[in-house]
Amino acid sequence: MAYSTLKYYYRFALLILVLSGCDSNEALSLSKKSIIYCSEGPPESFNPQTVSSGTTIDATSHQLYNRLIEFSPVDNAIIPAIAKSWHVTRDGKMITFYLRKDIQFHQTRYFMPTRALNADDVLFSFNRMLDINHEYHPISGGKYPFFQNAQLASLIDKIEKINDHTIRFRLAHADSSFLANIGGDSAVILSKEYADELVELNAMQEIDMLPIGTGPFKFKQYSSGAFIRYEPHSNYWRGKSELKQLVFDITPRDTARLTKLLAGECDVIAYPIAHEKIKQHPNLILESVISFNVGYFGFNTRKPPFNDPLVRKALSYAINKQAILEAVYTGQAEVANGIIPNSSWAYDARITSQDYSIATAQKLLTQAGYSNGFSMDLWAMPVQRSYNPDAITMAKLIQADLQKIGVEVNIVSGYEWSTFLRKVSEGEHQSVLLGWSADNPDPDNFFSSLLSCSAANTGSNRTFWCNKKFDQLIQKALKTNNINKRKAYYSKALKLINEEVPLIPIAHSKRYQARGNSVKGTVLRAIGGVDFNGVTKN
Amino acid sequence: MLIFTLRRFSLFFFTLLLLTMLSFSLSFLFPGEQLINLTGQISASPEQLAVLANEYQHHSGLLGQYISYLKHLFQGDMGYSMTSHLPISNEVLNRLPATVELASVALLVAMFVGIPVGFCAAIYHRKAADNLILTIAMIGYSIPVFWLGILAILVFSIQLGWLPSSGQISLLFEIKHITGLQLIDIILSDSPYKWQAFQDATRHLILPVIVVALAPATIFMRLARSAMLEVLDTHYIKAAKAKGLTFSQIIYRHAMRNAIIKVIRDIGLQFANLITIAMVTEVIFSWPGIGSWLIESIYQRDYTAIQGGLIVLSSFIFIVHIIIDLVYAALNPLAREPRHGT
Model confidence over A388-439: pLDDT tens digits? 888 899 999 999 999 999 899 999 987 877 788 888 888 889 999 988 877 6
pLDDT at B212: 94
Confidence of residue A149 (pLDDT cuts 50, 70, 90): low
Mutate to test the interface with A, among B81, B105, B159, B171 (most CBs of A within 10 A): B171
Confidence of residue A17 (pLDDT cuts 50, 70, 90): very low
pLDDT at A26: 44
Residues A358-381, mean pLDDT to the nearest whole number:
90
| Contact with chain A for residue B158, Cβ under 8 A | yes
Residues B183-207, mean pLDDT to the nearest whole number:
87
Q: Where are the beta strands (DSSP E) in A238-390?
A: 245-250, 268-270, 284-290, 293-299, 333-335, 375-380
Is residue B308 within 8 Å of B315, Cβ to Cβ?
Answer: no
Q: Where is average pLDDT lowest: A146-150, A187-191, A233-237, B117-121?
A: A146-150
DSSP one-letter code for A341: -
Residues A156-174, mean pLDDT to the nearest whole number:
90
| Contact with chain A for residue B157, Cβ under 8 A | yes
Q: Which residues does A352 contact at the CB level (< 8 Å), separation at least 6?
A: A337
The rounded distance, in Å, linking the Cα atoms of A188 and A49 is 7
The rounded distance, in Å, linking the Cα atoms of A248 and A162 is 40
CB contact under 8 A, A262 and B157: yes
pLDDT at A21: 43
B217, B227, B256 from B116: Cα distances, Å: 10, 12, 9
C-alpha B241 chain-centroid distance = 41
C-alpha A384 chain-centroid distance = 17
Question: Chain B 92-131, CB below 8 Å of chain A: which residues?
Answer: 112, 116
Of all residues in chain B, the percent with pLDDT exceeding 70 is 98
Of the segments A239-248, A379-388, A438-447, B5-14, which one has the largest average pLDDT value?
Answer: A239-248
Within chain B, where are the H helices? Answer: 2-29, 34-39, 46-55, 62-74, 88-123, 128-142, 145-152, 182-188, 194-232, 235-243, 247-249, 256-284, 290-299, 303-331, 333-336, 338-341
Residues A274-320 have pLDDT tens digits of: 888 899 999 999 988 888 889 999 999 998 889 999 999 999 999 99
Q: Where is average pLDDT lowest: A137-151, A369-383, B120-134, B196-210?
A: A137-151
Residues B28-51, mean pLDDT to the nearest whole number:
83
pLDDT at A27: 46
B153, B271, B328 from B12: Cα distances, Å: 39, 16, 17
pLDDT at A10: 54
What 3-state DSSP class applies to A526? Answer: coil
In this predicted structure, the answer to whether residue A11 has a pLDDT above a threshold of 70 is no
In this predicted structure, the answer to whether residue A349 has a pLDDT above a threshold of 90 is no
Burial A31-53 (b: 16+ CB within 10 A, else e): bebbbbbbbbbbbbbbbbbbbbe
The rounded distance, in Å, linking the Cα atoms of B171 and A467 is 57
pLDDT at B221: 92
Residue in B with minimal Cα distance to A278: B158
| Contact with chain B for residue A518, Cβ under 8 A | no
Residues A33-88 have pLDDT tens digits of: 899 999 988 888 899 888 767 788 889 989 999 999 988 877 777 889 999 999 98
HSE-up of residue B326 (Cα within 13 Å, Cβ side): 14
Mean predicted lDDT score pLDDT of chain A: 86
CB contact under 8 A, A265 and B166: yes
| Contact with chain B for residue A428, Cβ under 8 A | no
CB contact under 8 A, B166 and A22: no
Contacts of A30 in chain B (CB under 8 A): 172-173, 193, 196
| Contact with chain A for residue B247, Cβ under 8 A | no
Confidence of residue A12 (pLDDT cuts 50, 70, 90): low
The rounded distance, in Å, linking the Cα atoms of B267 and A310 is 84
Q: What ipTM does this complex have?
A: 0.78
Is residue A497 within 8 Å of A466, Cβ to Cβ?
Answer: no
| Contact with chain A for residue B199, Cβ under 8 A | yes
Which of B116, B157, B193 has its CB closest to that of A263? B157
Is residue A510 within 8 Å of A288, Cβ to Cβ?
Answer: yes
DSSP one-letter code for A50: S
DSSP state string for A397-412: HHHHHHHTTT-EEEEE
C-alpha A281 chain-centroid distance = 28
Tell me the domains of chain B and their CATH numbers: 2-74 (no CATH), 88-336 (1.10.3720.10)
Q: Where is average pLDDT lowest: A216-220, A246-250, B94-98, B251-255?
A: B251-255
pLDDT at B80: 87
Contacts of A19 in chain B (CB under 8 A): 199, 202
